[in-house]
Structure 1
Amino acid sequence: MASLITGLTTGAVFRRLGSKYLVHYLPLDVIFILAYLFLLSGIAFAFVWHYSEKRKKVNLDYKHGLVQLIAFALALDLTMFGFQKLLGFQMIVPLGLLDTPFSSFSGEDLVWAFFKHSYAFTSVVAFMQMASAILLLFPKTRLFGSLIALPMLVFIWLMDFFYQMPTGVLLHGSILLTAIFYFLWLYRKRLLSICWINVSSVNFHYTWLWILLLMGISAFCLINRRHPDLHPQLTGKYAVADLKIEGLSQKAKYSTDSVLTFVYFDLDDDVVLRWNDHRRQRIGRYRLSNQGRITMKWRYPDNKLPAFEGQLIGVKDGFQLKGRMDTSNYEMLLIRDEK
């Protein structure tokens, strides 16, 4: 196990750092080959170690050296991650992308845009990565460093997985996390002595009482909280079709034509009318009666804009919306956009 994790960790760290900082000196293919050689060397060393013990008939303790090598590779990678955050080498998002609609972002772009927003926050993460790296280097502080690195790496791995990061990124995070779990396994006796609970000292009657009280109060709060999706059958994004204003058909010939294109019915009865571009829109709140009577009052770009008063009727392909706004009569078909 020590040999395998040593090969995995050193190979992964060399591949990541080499592909960023050694490409001016070595071809990328050579860097990848060397990274795989680290992995194969780690696997091969286990057999060499086993053979040497059988031949010499003594226990050879190479584990300390391998663990120190794992710790150094981890520390180097975490330190470089920290410097990359502090110096702006990481979380690079093009300015043009930041000005595009939020819904067009990929999971990877969402992560980088979110963390890039606050340099102070990313600096805190960077210093924690570098602090855990230093603690991992020394046997007496390695457990403490592992406990600091563990929640960070678990959080990063979960983001990599659920936000569809590239496969190589997810694999790299998995290797680093495996190394940390290996360190925790090495210190399992110390961890168990700290976390062990004496079952005989626990009063289970009071324990169940606290659990029931917790669940009861939580259920009471949730039952009395109105869900924000007040009209689930309506909530969604709709493309506008067959638009008519004062009986005249309206259709955009070019992307710059200011024609009503999308309608959004959102949570908390929010409504958005959009004219081709996210910069040309009205945002407000709607009221819908049981008879399909709908009223939209605006708060953006101005709360003094005339309200939309009309009728919303369910049809086969979506909804038909008729009403009056800005002294004009509107008629349109709303088709649900499944994107």
Structure 2
Amino acid sequence: MKRFDFKEILEITCRLYVFFFLTVYGIGKVIGGQFYTAARIPDEIAQMPIGLVPDFELAWVFMGRSYGYILFIALAEIIGAFLLLFNKTKLVGTLILIPIMVNVIVFDIFFLDEYGALAGATLYLLMLLIIVVINKEKMSDILIELVSTEVQLKTSSKEKTLKYSIVLVIIVLIFIGDQLIVNFLGYGKG
């Protein structure tokens, strides 16, 4: 009989819990259960001068203004949560969901006046971090691979100067092209 593995039980619990709730939140966004879309702004908010709209309602209207944005966040939550279900993709799902949860937490801190949603988002983030800690060896290997550099032959200062001069010219050309595009398309109202 296999020995009881507390870490495995804890990880699976965290993965399934976060999967369930972030899938529900993601689907809620897709079907219109979160944020005030143009058709769902409460009358008292819609008729209020913008400077008097409470932070939460203003944020909820802003977030609901673009269905494309809502769909992007919803799909990221759903895909990230779905990836938690499988051992081979659990860390990818975790790495997708951590920045989303950090953003939700920051949003909740600055815009919400009730903190139940903040507590829930914090719990989900803590569970994702538990998954990372339980898989610290794999995460460490990934980070080492990402930042490792192969030993290169020594290059002369002349070669380095030439290489970085070319890089500088390319950066200037990209900047000029970028500014031409921005000026052609316009800056917007901001």
TM-score higher than 0.5 here? yes
**1:178 is matched with which residue: 126, 136, 142?**
126
Percent identical pairs in the alignment equals: 24
- Residue in 1 that maps onto 2:143: 195
| 2:34 aligned residue | 90
Give the aligned partner of residue 9 of structure 2: 65
Task: Measure, in 2, the Cα distance between the counterparts of 1:187 and 1:64.
Answer: 10
- Unaligned runs of at least 5 residues, structure 2: 155-159, 165-190
Q: What is the rounded CA distance, in whole Å, between the counterparts of 1:170 and 1:130 in structure 2?
A: 19
Gaps of 5+ in 1: 1-57, 211-339
Give the SS at the match of 1:100: coil
1:149 lines up with 2:110 in the alignment: no
Q: 1:131 aligns with which of 74, 79, 102?
A: 79
More helix by share: 2
- 2-structure distance, mates of 1:198, 1:81: 38
| Matching residue's letter, 1:127 | L
Say which structure is richer in strand: 1
Contact 2:83 2:93 in 1 (8 A): yes
Separation in 2, partners of 1:142, 1:198 = 23
Residue 163 of structure 1 and its aligned partner are, at CA, apart by 1.8
Question: How many pairs align?
Answer: 149
CA distance in 1, matches of 2:62, 2:104: 14
Asked if 1:76 is matched to 2:20, the reply is: yes
Tell me which of the two structures has the higher relative contact order, counting C-alpha pairs closer than 8 angstroms and 6 or more residues apart: 2
Larger radius of gyration: 1
Contact 1:98 1:113 (8 Å CA) reproduced: no
Query: Runs of 4+ in structure 1 displaced over 4 angstroms?
Result: 198-203
Q: Are 1:111 and 2:55 an aligned pair? A: no
Task: Sort the Cα spacing of 1:165 and 1:148 in 2 relative to 1 into closer, same or farther, 3 A.
Answer: farther
Aligned residue runs from structure 1 range 168-317, under 5 A: 168-196=116-144, 197-198=147-148
